[in-house]
Amino acid sequence: MTIQLGQTAPDFVQESTQGPIHFHSWLGSSWGILFSHPKDFTPVCTTELGTVARLAPEWAKRNTKVLGLSVDELKDHAGWEADIAETQGSSVDFPILADADRKVATLYGMIHPEADPKVTVRSVFIIDPDKKVRLTLTYPPSAGRNFDEILRVLDSLQLTDRQKVTTPADWHLGDDVIIAPSVSNEQAQKLFPQGWKTLKPYLRLVKLSYGVSSVKR
């Protein structure tokens, strides 16, 4: 199954390190990040889980729940969590799905037979409070995921859901944003009384007046 942007994230019930997860109910009114790992006790993923654990305050600021997945069983997850705490200096405080039957991996298209039919690829899904998929990423086995980038996209999605703007390349909170092309200049005068810079009729940059500050990493 190929997950496409804008579709409803498939719901499921699966065991996890924090008990059974009924995905849509567990998300509630929060944003969600679901990210998969080929198997337990893999080196790159060990560093990733430690990073996600250290970013707990940042997820909380953004009303976001994180959920890991591996096709190994709960007993293996427990040993892996101990290794993560020892080597990465952060205890995993979010649930990791024990997807031994590959139910969730299959629902989300995480099994690529031409890569390895026994394990999941390293995917990331951002899901909004309406349970819509807003971002999909798949990483190669050798490259650790950039969670600063995932936070950056999450910031952009949450901002552009609230304001009639889009965000330019390499944007971070506090940078100028782009007035959405669907907004006329007459509408923009009401929405952005602080004014804007027109580089081209379709490219209008504005600094938001409510004082968004940079997020500390």
CB neighbour class for 45 (10 Å; exposed up to 12, middle 13-18, buried from 19): buried
Catalytic residue status for 133: no
**E strands, the chain, in order:** 13-14, 21-22, 31-37, 64-70, 96-98, 122-127, 133-139, 165-166, 177-179, 197-200, 203-206
Alpha-carbon Rg for the chain in angstroms: 19
Task: Give the length of the chain.
Answer: 217
CA distance 204 to 209: 15
C-alpha of 102 from chain center: 21
CA distance 122 to 69: 10
HSE-up of residue 106 (Cα within 13 Å, Cβ side): 9
Could you say which of 27, 33, 34, 45 is catalytic?
45
Task: Give me the active site residues, please.
Answer: 45
